[in-house]
Amino acid sequence: MAWKIEFSTRADKQLRKLDKQIVRRILSFLKTKVEAEPRSIGKYLKGNLSDLWSYRVGEYRLICNFEDERLVIFVLEIGHRREVYEKTDL
């Protein structure tokens, strides 16, 4: 069974601010590579974000949480790799 992808309000706003080409790349990445088997790529984060998962899409990172019982990948934060981990106050 395939996973569903949902965005937090914050991640949705961040996605809308990005260039359309980057948005297409991120959405395509989520649909083609993450939706089928989300834990086959990406990595668990460490430190105070240790219960979250990160995906790399070019210069951008997607910080996600899994809801296994509902088969949902919940995108919490989207940002440039240089600043996404510093700004994250999840």
Pick the CATH number of 4-87 from 1.10.287.3610, 3.30.420.40, 3.30.2310.20, 3.90.110.10: 3.30.2310.20
Rounded CA-CA distance 35/61 in Å is: 16
pTM: 0.89
Q: Read out DSSP for the chain?
A: -PPEEEE-HHHHHHHHHS-HHHHHHHHHHIIIIITT-TTSSSEE--GGGTT-EEEEETTEEEEEEEETTTTEEEEEEEEETTTHHHH---
Enumerate the domain spans of the chain.
Answer: 4-87
Which residues lie across from 80 on neighbouring strands? 60
pLDDT digits 0-9 by tens, 25-83: 999 999 999 988 899 999 999 888 888 999 999 999 999 999 999 999 999 999 999 88
